Amino acid sequence: MSDQATAEIRRIIDSPAFKAACATLRAEHDRTVQDIVALTQIAAPSFQEGNRAAAWRDMARGHGLHELETDAEGNVMGLRRGVGNGPLICIAAHLDTVFPPGIDLTVRRDGTRLLAPGIGDDTRSLAVLLAWLRAMDAAGIRTRADILVVADVGEEGPGDLRGMRYLFEKGRYQDRISGFITVDSPNMERIVTRGVGSKRYRVTFKGPGGHSYGAFGLVNPMYAMADAISQLGQVQVPARPKTTFSASVTGGGTSINSIPNAVWTEFDLRSESPEELDRLERCFLAIVDKAVAAENHARSTRTGEISADIAKIGDRPAGHTDEAHEMVRLAQAALLAHGFAPTFEASSTDANIPMSLGIPAIKIGSGGSGGRGHSLEEWIDVEPEASLRGMAAGLATLLAVAGVAE
């Protein structure tokens, strides 16, 4: 721990202004919950974030943001000006969810527990960004840095971090951002300092197809695909550095009485370690080749062979922020000061992009608790005390990183 970071956080949270800001967070907690519910119920699959983006932009009006705008990629953002001549710190939450169109997004309540797909990852954070802005405004807090507040697109799966790529590679602030904080999911204790890299593939297994009865005995791409999935399921990966795989989405086939022409599966490979990720990728590609060859050996190829079209559909860079960096120390001190026991974690988040560019970046939480992210049973708890404690710690982090002007 850095004494300097601890002292800076102590100075901020003991200030009357910060206490006033926290009082506003408390007074407006119901409004924050209403915002979470409203935003959660607007579908926002990756690449279809437009409705939710427009709703958030409407909500963000009157929050003291200059130049509230939507960039060419779909990110909504606005600048909370600092006192001038300071750096630019970006704080972001992502608009998109993993859930396809048509999923029931109605928020169910069970006491202080709210259940709905995407509610914690990352919709709660979108509302928390606005709560922080109102709290700072109500308390008259000015920062040394300009704060760029972003509701971004394309964080999840197929989005492949497109919102962040645009922001850091083409956006109007691309050269000015000197620090980045993404607020992603409720858990406060896991500070993400390492960006998990990923490689994603859509593999289409093709064959001649034919009548399920009349052409029985011909190669069937379903067996090649099943073999590849089964073999991947048996791969041993290290627990540290954490390395994972998933056969996630599948489809294909002509009709129940046809040997299919084509079937496909999407695969997700990840690791904290670029070397382990490369090793897993090579293993996976060899499994696909072997499964194709095995099916061509197992059944007749007289009307054609099985082949695999291997399309890389995602490639997220790994990266990290040194745990000794001031930004990390400040976040850690803010959490400790609020009674949390922070740990440093690896994950794939919007922070991967700035990390990979050498820009200090971390992920923090939106407060309260939650679980079952990416499942239909996703939930958060909005019990006020736990929620406000997390939101206070997050706000203290932001203020410490941006610097409070005297």
Q: Which residues bind a second copy (CB under 8 A)?
A: 46, 98-100, 156-158, 196, 198, 200, 208-216, 220, 222-223, 225-230, 233, 242, 244-261, 263, 265-268, 270, 298, 303, 313-314, 347-348, 372-377
Write the single-letter amino acid at 348: S
Tell which residue, 380, 388, 404, has the closest CA to residue 338. 388
Cβ of residue 218: shortest distance to a second copy, in angstroms?
Answer: 10
Closer CB to a second copy, residue 62 or residue 251?
251
Cβ of residue 22: shortest distance to a second copy, in angstroms?
Answer: 30
Measured CA distances, 174 to 28, 165, 353, 390 (Å): 33, 10, 12, 30
Cβ of residue 78: shortest distance to a second copy, in angstroms?
Answer: 29
Closer CB to a second copy, residue 80 or residue 363?
363
Cβ of residue 398: shortest distance to a second copy, in angstroms?
Answer: 24
Tell which residue, 357, 394, 309, has the closest CA to residue 127. 394
Cβ of residue 372: shortest distance to a second copy, in angstroms?
Answer: 7
Cis peptide preceding 101, ω within 30 of 0: no
Q: From CA 264, how far away is CA 11, in angstroms rounded? A: 56
Closer CB to a second copy, residue 244 or residue 307?
244
Cβ of residue 380: shortest distance to a second copy, in angstroms?
Answer: 15
Q: DSSP string spanning 63-116?
A: SS-EEEEE-TTS-EEEEE--SSS--EEEEEEE--BSPPTT---PPEEETTEEE-
Q: Cβ distance 333 to 399 under 8 Å?
A: no
Q: From CA 225, how far away is CA 228, in angstroms rounded? A: 5
Closer CB to a second copy, residue 221 or residue 403?
221
Residue 358: what are its φ and ψ, rounded to 5°?
85, 10
Closer CB to a second copy, residue 60 or residue 222?
222
Write the single-letter amino acid at 152: D
Q: Cβ distance 367 to 128 under 8 Å?
A: yes
Closer CB to a second copy, residue 287 or residue 395?
287
Q: Cβ distance 128 to 395 under 8 Å?
A: no
Cβ of residue 276: shortest distance to a second copy, in angstroms?
Answer: 13
Q: Which two tokens stand for residue 55?
A: 């709703």
Cβ of residue 360: shortest distance to a second copy, in angstroms?
Answer: 23
Measured CA distances, 206 to 121, 182, 300 (Å): 36, 41, 14
Cβ of residue 100: shortest distance to a second copy, in angstroms?
Answer: 7
Closer CB to a second copy, residue 318 or residue 400?
318
Cβ of residue 219: shortest distance to a second copy, in angstroms?
Answer: 10
Q: DSSP string spanning 342-367?
A: -EEEEE-STTHHHHHTT--EEEE--S
Closer CB to a second copy, residue 178 or residue 212?
212
Q: Three-class SS of residue 213?
A: coil
Beta 76-80 vs 66-70: how paired, if at all? antiparallel
∠ CA 348-90-355 to the nearest 5 degrees? 35
Closer CB to a second copy, residue 269 or residue 328?
269
Kindly report the number of other CB atoms within 10 A of residue 16's CB atom.
Answer: 8
Cβ of residue 28: shortest distance to a second copy, in angstroms?
Answer: 30
Closer CB to a second copy, residue 87 or residue 158?
158
Closer CB to a second copy, residue 368 or residue 373?
373
Q: Which two tokens stand for residue 79?
A: 């600048």
Q: From CA 305, how far away is CA 108, in angstroms rounded? A: 50
- Reported as half-sphere exposure (CB side, CA atoms, 13 A), residue 311 has a value of 10
Q: Three-class SS of residue 62?
A: coil
